[in-house]
Amino acid sequence: MLIDWFTVGAQVLNFLILVWLLKRFLYKPILHAIDEREKRIATELANADKKKAEAQKERDEFQHKNEELDQQRAALLGKATNEAQAERQRLLDEARKAAAVLSSKLQETSRNEEHALHQAIRRRTQQEVFAIARKALTDLATTSLEERLGEVFTRRLREMDGKMKAGLAEALKTASGPAIVRSAFDLPAEQRAAIQNALNETFSAEIRVRFETAPDLISGIELTTNGLKVAWSIADYLASLEKGVDELMKEQDKREAKAEPKAEAKAKSKPEDPKLETKSK
């Protein structure tokens, strides 16, 4: 008999036990391991994808920020450039203004200096003219200049025209104090007597006179009483000379002022002109 029924039963049992054993020890653990691994790989892949997405996002963000920064930088740079240009323009304008102010000051100063120089030259010329005149008079006259001045003064007193004489006489009479005779230097007693005599004779009265010295008269004598004045001095001549020179100067200044805006450089050569004109006069 090929089939042993007990063995068949035993083998069925054995087979079922084997099925259970293999399920327990082989299929379940192996499948579990495979599943776990797949799950793990899936998780890792998902994580990698997530990280990649995050990285991409971060990269995008970074790029965006970079672009923003670039724009900001460009804007700042542009602004700074504009400001710098404006500042440069402002500084240049200021410098130009300052230069203009300085140059006008310089011109002013040079004009002032020129003016002062003119003044000094004028004064010096006057003094020199006086000195020369005095020297010449002293050298030429037989008597001293002062004596001569006294004589001239007395002569003029005597030669006064009637109208002036009457006015002066009236003034002398009404004067509360003595008449004042001013001279640039101390008059000697003789001259004082001569002047007194001349006054007495001219006005036919005893005139009270007080003598004073006034150095600013410049070689001259004047009689002052009650607001009226009779005088003769070189200063008068000088004054007329000075007047003429002054007029000339003023004319010159006006011309300079007109010519200034056109040609400032020419201003220096101008002062020579009045000298020439003074000479010619």
Residues that bind other proteins (CB under 8 A): 2-12, 14-19, 21-23, 25-27, 29-34, 36-37, 40-41
Smallest separation (angstroms) from other proteins to the CB of 54 = 24
Q: How far is the CB of 42 from other proteins (least distance, A)?
A: 13
User: Residue 49 or residue 246: which is nearer to other proteins going by CB?
Assistant: 49
Work out how close the CB of 20 gets to other proteins at its nearest, in angstroms, rounded to a whole number: 8
Q: How far apart are CA 196 and CA 210, in angstroms?
A: 10
Q: From the CB of 39, what's the least distance to other proteins, in Å?
A: 8
SS3 180: strand
CA 115 from centroid of its chain's CA atoms: 20
Tokens of 30: 């192996």
214: three-class secondary structure by DSSP: coil
Q: Quote the least distance from Cβ 7 to other proteins, whole Å.
A: 4
Q: Can you tell me the distance from the alpha carbon of 82 to that of 76, in angstroms, rounded to the nearest whole number?
A: 10
- Bridge partners (DSSP) of residue 171 are none
- CA dist., res. 247 & res. 253, Å (int): 10
Question: Taking the complex as a whole, how short is the minimal distance between the CB of residue 62 and other proteins, in angstroms?
Answer: 33
Q: Which is nearer to other proteins, 44 or 190 (CB)?
A: 44
Nearer to other proteins, 2 or 263 (CB): 2
Nearer to other proteins, 11 or 143 (CB): 11
Q: Smaller CB distance to other proteins: residue 40 or 96?
A: 40
SS3 assignment, position 1 = coil
Beta-bridge partner residues of 102: none
Bridge partners (DSSP) listed for residue 224: 180, 229
Q: Which is nearer to other proteins, 43 or 85 (CB)?
A: 43
Compute the least distance from the CB of residue 80 to other proteins, in Å. Answer: 58
CA atoms of 251 and 265, how far apart (whole Å): 19
Q: Smallest Cα–Cα separation from 211: which of 248, 169, 183?
A: 183
Q: Name the token pair of 240.
A: 């007329």
Contacting residues for 57 by C-beta, under 8 A, at least 6 apart? none
Q: Which is nearer to other proteins, 6 or 142 (CB)?
A: 6
